[in-house]
């Protein structure tokens, strides 16, 4: 970065904010073309079995219905290799919509009715008659835990649990104090505001313009071209705005397949938008059953950590996430045994949801740490400080940076932790039981290969682009800042483009890696432009910078200036005019510096403090205060960064108290598939939230020093709340969500 850093670190408001609040921002189901047709999905009512008979005649008889696609008439060509895996696919065979008569989960798409209008399509879909041959299904993880196995690896980034170190079971038996408990977390669904939808515009030349709700246009493009045997130039995918996704848009979903299939077959433009109910039919955060056993010495030193988890997957893919590894990383302990298994259920494959693995695994560990603190008679924060990990013992590596101590210290001070009285039920106010709890959070700081293009025009305007996404994360804004900063331009002169597969390659937006990956590419592309414009500036006739070197100048306000004598300056426009250059274009591919990074463990951390008030008579819980102190490297935009963390904390409140997709085991079906019965926090549930970013310098993670903040916000929140509830009530509820009935 230039020395005269003005933009990075500033709380710039979203550059796309106006578009979003005025409705000008268009989402996948809002791109209209003349002659657009509408597809409505018919979903399976049983969890396992076969379609004996599908009668579509009544649907086809409705005026305006164009076609009803089923497994019996789907185009034969439209299929792909069972081994094809999208960028976020776990190992196994991906689900193939309308492939045959086999039913593998409740809610599975079994027909697509396409009509001239949405109303006709929806009505006709209700007339499709299905006869099932029902087989018995198994959807209860507790009943299936005996069948659990170590999943096949395959998904990029998945790390199996490290080998045991020391003798955890023996150390546990000899510990001065110990706890051994089972925790569980339920299925959750992402429930973004925008429902999944795809609009396929069938162009005159037969190519497809696809508007898809996705976290990765390139992933969608690859999927469509692979499945439908098209060349990538025949499929252009756009997703300029996404109304929340949280992981649900990482994999291509069935509405994409169905819309493309119908458009190709009918040679018409087709939109398929899922209903809120159907949002519960393509992936979820899986149920976990977790045993955590911890032992501590009389001095408060952690002697044993055992964390065993059974989670769920489908019959056709091995969904895996990193749930237990954090327990070997977060605290110093020489005796650790971690185990992770999955059991197959007759459901769709789970899919990543914000901080996949960590959100649930750290929840269990951090509740167990709280229980251990009580068992040992040590303050919960003190216990964590006593066992602070200076190194990652899983990998035997140092951390690239770790300001978790500062998080504990600053968070505790802001919260007022020192005023806590340790005994449960000791802080009541009338009928209200007040509780204070805390927990640690951790997530990875990852970087992926990404590319970006920067085009500087003679009028001083800069356009930077990359095929990444902005799922509400603030990507448009932060990339604009990085670009403007690097070339010293006012933000108004910089445009960042994303969400288009014709732009330079980018990975999925996920894993909290976008700033790190795409941001590095944007920075590099703009640095190359800088070099070129500087060369032109030196060559201007009688240039005051003729003898200057690049490191002796700064870029600001559209000028290149000598740092020593700012009056010696050349404007960008002047340099380009003199060089007779209308545009300077540079494209770069930015790769993580694996050599540099591999010697370290790269993580973000947090310390979360929560206050709850529990009504003694009703068992209702209000989270009245949350203080979250985050160590996430350099914060490029404190405003969008804070919003990320706020969102994570609000979700943590939901995870602790409300969210649960309830599956009727007899039907094998999620029953509360709507926002009336699937509870998420509303404004009244969200009170005082305070976010602190502690200073953290990191030169290893990437050239920007930013670690990514998309996921760390949720990690630890549910545990801090659960621990606060114990402090308030003396009741330890180990099964999320902690609903009032569990407290009475
Ligand atoms: Mo995130 S669960 O990687 O979208």
Model pLDDT for residues 462-516, shown as the tens digit of each residue: 999 999 999 999 999 999 999 999 999 999 999 999 999 999 999 999 999 999 9
Residue 645 lies in a domain: yes
Task: State the distance between the two ends of the chain, measured CA to CA, in whole angstroms.
Answer: 57
- The last residue of one of the domains, among 573, 591, 609, is 591
Residue 711 lies in a domain: yes
CATH number at residue 499: 3.30.365.10
Q: Is 471 touching ligand 1 by the criterion CB < 6 Å? A: no
Please tell me whether residues 92 and 208 are part of one structural domain. Answer: yes
- The last residue of one of the domains, among 545, 564, 591, is 591
10 Å Cβ neighbour count for 449?
14
Residue 161 lies in a domain: no
**pLDDT for 3:** 42
Residue 175 lies in a domain: no
CA distances from 423 to 178, 378, 417, 436 (A): 19, 11, 14, 11
Sign of CA dihedral 358, 361, 363, 365: negative
**pLDDT for 142:** 97
**pLDDT for 155:** 65
- Beta-carbon contacts of 735 under 8 Å, excluding residues fewer than 6 positions away, are 183, 184, 186, 742
Q: What is the tally of structural domains in the chain? A: 3
pTM of the model: 0.97
**pLDDT for 85:** 84
**pLDDT for 83:** 73
What's the rounded Cα separation, in Å, for the pair 153 and 145?
19
**pLDDT for 275:** 98
Nearest CA to ligand 1 atom 4: 247
Q: Which residues of the chain have pLDDT under 50?
A: 1-4
- Would you call 711 a catalytic residue per the annotation? yes
**pLDDT for 157:** 65
Residue 583 lies in a domain: yes
Q: Which atom of ligand 1 is nearest to the CA of 355?
A: 2
What's the rounded Cα separation, in Å, for the pair 636 and 696?
12
Q: Is 485 touching ligand 1 by the criterion CB < 6 Å? A: no
Q: Which atom of ligand 1 is nearest to the CA of 711?
A: 1
Q: Is 247 touching ligand 1 by the criterion CB < 6 Å? A: yes
Please tell me whether residues 522 and 429 are part of one structural domain. Answer: no
Q: Is 441 touching ligand 1 by the criterion CB < 6 Å? A: no
CATH number at residue 253: 3.90.1170.50
Please tell me whether residues 114 and 14 are part of one structural domain. Answer: no
CA of 497 to the centre of ligand 1 (A): 21
Residue 80 lies in a domain: yes
10 Å Cβ neighbour count for 167?
15
What's the rounded Cα separation, in Å, for the pair 669 and 658?
19
Contact 586, 528 (CB under 8 A): yes
Please tell me whether residues 609 and 736 are part of one structural domain. Answer: yes
**87, 213, 247, 507: residue to mutate for ligand 1 pocket, most atoms within 8 A of CB:** 247
Q: Is 737 touching ligand 1 by the criterion CB < 6 Å? A: no
**pLDDT for 77:** 66
- The last residue of one of the domains, among 565, 591, 617, is 591
Please tell me whether residues 577 and 616 are part of one structural domain. Answer: no
β-pair partners for 588: 452
Q: Give the CA-trace dihedral at 7, 13, 15, 17, to 10 degrees.
A: 170
**511, 651, 713: residue to mutate for ligand 1 pocket, most atoms within 8 A of CB:** 511
Residue-range definition of the domain harbouring residue 205: 31-136+193-245+249-280
């Amino acid at each position: 970065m230039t020395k005269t850093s003005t933009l990075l670190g500033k709380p710039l408001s979203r550059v796309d904010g106006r578009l979003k609040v005025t409705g000008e921002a268009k989402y996948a189901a809002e791109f209209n073309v003349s002659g657009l047709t509408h597809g409505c999905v018919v979903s399976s009512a049983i969890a396992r079995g076969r379609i004996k008979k599908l009668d579509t005649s009544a649907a086809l008889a409705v005026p305006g219905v164009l076609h009803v696609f089923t497994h019996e008439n789907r185009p034969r060509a439209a299929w792909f290799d069972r081994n094809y895996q999208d960028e976020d696919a776990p190992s196994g065979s991906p689900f193939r919509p309308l492939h045959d008569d086999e039913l593998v989960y409740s809610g599975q798409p079994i027909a697509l009715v396409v009509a001239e209008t949405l109303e006709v399509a929806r009505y006709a879909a209700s007339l499709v008659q299905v006869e099932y041959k029902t087989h018995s299904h198994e959807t209860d993880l507790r009943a299936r835990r005996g069948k659990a196995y170590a999943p096949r690896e395959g998904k990029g980034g998945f790390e199996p649990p490290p080998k045991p170190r020391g003798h955890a079971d023996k150390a546990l038996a000899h510990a001065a104090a110990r706890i051994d408990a089972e925790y569980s977390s339920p299925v959750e669904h992402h429930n973004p505001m925008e429902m999944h939808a795809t609009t396929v515009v069938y162009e005159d030349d037969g190519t497809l313009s696809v508007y898809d709700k996705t976290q990765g246009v390139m992933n969608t493009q690859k999927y469509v071209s692979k499945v439908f045997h098209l060349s990538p130039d025949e499929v252009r995918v756009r997703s300029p705005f996404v109304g929340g996704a949280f992981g649900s848009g990482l994999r291509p979903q069935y509405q994409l397949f169905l819309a493309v299939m119908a458009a190709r077959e009918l040679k018409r433009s087709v939109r398929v938008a899922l209903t809120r109910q159907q949002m519960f039919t393509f992936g979820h955060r899986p149920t976990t059953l977790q045993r955590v056993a911890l032992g501590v010495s009389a001095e408060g030193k952690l002697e044993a950590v055992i964390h065993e988890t059974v989670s769920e997957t489908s019959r056709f893919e091995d969904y895996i996430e990193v749930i237990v590894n954090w327990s070997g990383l977060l605290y110093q302990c020489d005796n650790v045994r971690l185990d992770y298994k999955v059991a197959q259920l007759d459901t769709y494959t789970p899919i990543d949801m914000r901080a996949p693995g960590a959100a649930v695994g750290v929840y269990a560990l951090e509740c167990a740490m709280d229980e251990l603190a009580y068992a040992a008679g040590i303050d919960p924060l003190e216990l964590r400080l006593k066992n602070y990990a200076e190194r990652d013992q899983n990998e035997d590596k140092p951390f690239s940076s770790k300001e978790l101590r500062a998080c504990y210290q600053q968070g505790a001070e802001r919260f007022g932790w020192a005023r806590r009285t340790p005994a449960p039920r000791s802080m009541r106010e009338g009928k209200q039981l007040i509780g204070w709890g805390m927990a640690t959070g951790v997530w990875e700081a990852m970087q992926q290969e990404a590319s970006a293009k920067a085009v500087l025009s003679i009028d001083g305007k800069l356009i930077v682009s990359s095929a990444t996404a902005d799922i509400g994360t603030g990507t448009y804004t932060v990339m604009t800042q990085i670009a403007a900063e690097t070339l010293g331009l006012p933000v108004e002169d910089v445009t960042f483009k994303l969400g288009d597969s014709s732009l330079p390659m980018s990975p999925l937006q996920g894993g909290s890696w976008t700033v790190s990956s795409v941001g590095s590419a944007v920075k590099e592309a703009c640095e190359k432009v800088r070099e070129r414009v500087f060369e032109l500036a030196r060559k201007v006739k009688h240039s005051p910078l003729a003898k200057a070197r690049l490191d002796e100048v700064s870029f600001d306000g559209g000028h290149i200036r000598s740092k020593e004598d700012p009056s010696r300056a050349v404007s960008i426009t002047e340099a380009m005019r003199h060089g007779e250059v209308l545009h300077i274009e540079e494209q770069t591919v930015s790769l993580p510096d694996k050599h540099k990074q591999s010697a370290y463990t790269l993580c973000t951390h947090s310390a979360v403090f929560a206050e709850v008030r529990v009504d003694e008579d009703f068992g209702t819980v209000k989270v009245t205060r949350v203080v979250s102190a985050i160590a996430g490297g350099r914060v490029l935009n404190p405003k969008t960064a804070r919003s990320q963390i706020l969102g994570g904390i609000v979700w943590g409140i939901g995870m602790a108290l409300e969210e649960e997709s309830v599956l009727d085991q007899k039907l094998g079906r999620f029953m509360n598939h709507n926002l009336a019965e699937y509870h998420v926090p509303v404004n009244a549930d969200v009170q005082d939230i305070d976010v602190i970013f502690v200073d953290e310098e990191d030169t290893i993670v990437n050239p920007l020093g930013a670690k990514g903040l998309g996921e760390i916000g949720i990690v630890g929140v549910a545990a801090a709340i659960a621990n606060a509830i114990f402090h308030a009530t003396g009741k330890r509820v180990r099964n999320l969500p902690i609903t009032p009935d569990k407290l009475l």
